[in-house]
């Protein structure tokens, strides 16, 4: 069974940092692109970032470029999102997702990040 | 990258068919067949319903179907059921090597 489990969310002050992790199981992690998608409370889904199967290619949404860094550890089956210079508008549930072709076929349950003073 | 445009809400009676549109540009929806659709119930993670414009993952009801014409993709739900009441989002790959989601549509079963 494919499983993705996010962790690391919490309350942080504006300007602070947080590191999210997503532990996966049930598939050959090193064969897939992995993505982060977020959803602000009561709002829609927003794509955040992606990383290729071997960790050599990354892409980011303009809204997080220069502040967020995606990485992965294929030995530990984890994908991470380092979030720096956090803003109030970064408050959201953050989902990690596996992508096959052009679709997000498996999602984690999400972890809530709240940026507030 | 601006969100793809979806109607805010669509409703229908049980057994009816409804269609949700998803309008983008030639740099996303119109330029690639990487259009997918997701169902999200309150408090839950999204679930893939349609991938590559028209394909259904294993386990998804054949009441769900997808299509595309130009810069607009569509999701049709036929034989509407109470369990279909949820939020629906489209998504597309873009020419910037990023992804973009739609604004979301709330489906209400009357």
Probe site for chain A from B44, B47, B64, B98 (most A CB atoms < 10 A): B98
pLDDT confidence of residue B72 = 98
Q: Distance (Å, rounded) from C-alpha A99 to C-alpha A4?
A: 12
Residue B1 has pLDDT above 90, yes or no: no
Reported as a single tens digit per residue, the pLDDT across B13-71 is 999 999 999 999 999 999 999 999 999 999 999 999 999 999 999 999 999 999 999 99
Tell whether A33 is within 8 A of chain B (Cβ). Answer: no
Distance spanning both ends of chain B, measured CA to CA: 35
**Cβ-based contacts of B40 with chain A (< 8 Å):** 45
Q: Pick the residue from chain A with its C-alpha nearest to B52.
A: A102
Tell whether A100 is within 8 A of chain B (Cβ). Answer: yes
Reported as a single tens digit per residue, the pLDDT across A7-47 is 999 999 999 999 999 999 999 999 999 999 999 999 999 99
Q: Distance (Å, rounded) from C-alpha B100 to C-alpha A68?
A: 18
Q: Distance (Å, rounded) from C-alpha B54 to C-alpha A45?
A: 21
Reported as a single tens digit per residue, the pLDDT across A44-96 is 999 999 999 999 999 999 999 999 999 999 999 999 999 999 999 999 999 99
Pair B24, B32: CB distance under 8 Å: no
Q: What is the largest CA-CA distance in chain B?
A: 40
pLDDT confidence of residue A42 = 96
Pair A63, A49: CB distance under 8 Å: no
List Cβ<8 Å contacts ≥24 apart for A69-74. A70/A34, A70/A36, A72/A34, A74/A29, A74/A30
């Amino acid at each position: 069974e494919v499983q993705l489990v996010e962790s690391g969310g919490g309350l942080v002050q504006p300007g602070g940092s947080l590191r999210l992790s997503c532990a996966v199981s049930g598939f050959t992690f090193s064969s897939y692109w992995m993505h982060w998608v977020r959803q602000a409370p009561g709002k829609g889904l927003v794509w955040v970032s992606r990383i290729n199967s071997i960790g050599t290619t990354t892409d980011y949404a303009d809204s997080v470029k220069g502040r967020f860094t995606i990485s992965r550890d294929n030995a530990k089956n984890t994908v991470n999102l380092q979030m720096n210079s956090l803003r109030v508008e970064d408050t959201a549930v953050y989902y990690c997702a596996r992508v096959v072709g052009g679709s997000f076929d498996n999602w984690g349950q999400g972890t809530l990040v709240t940026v507030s003073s | 990258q601006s969100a793809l445009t979806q109607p805010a809400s669509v409703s229908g009676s049980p057994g009816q068919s409804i269609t949700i549109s998803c309008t983008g540009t030639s740099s996303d929806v119109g330029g690639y067949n990487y259009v997918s659709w997701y169902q999200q119930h309150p408090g839950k993670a999204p679930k893939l319903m349609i991938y590559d414009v028209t394909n259904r993952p294993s386990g998804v009801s054949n009441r769900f179907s997808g299509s595309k014409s130009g810069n607009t993709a569509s999701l049709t739900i036929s034989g509407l059921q109470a369990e279909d009441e949820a939020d629906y989002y489209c998504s597309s790959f873009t020419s910037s090597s990023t992804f973009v989601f739609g604004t979301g549509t709330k489906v209400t079963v009357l």
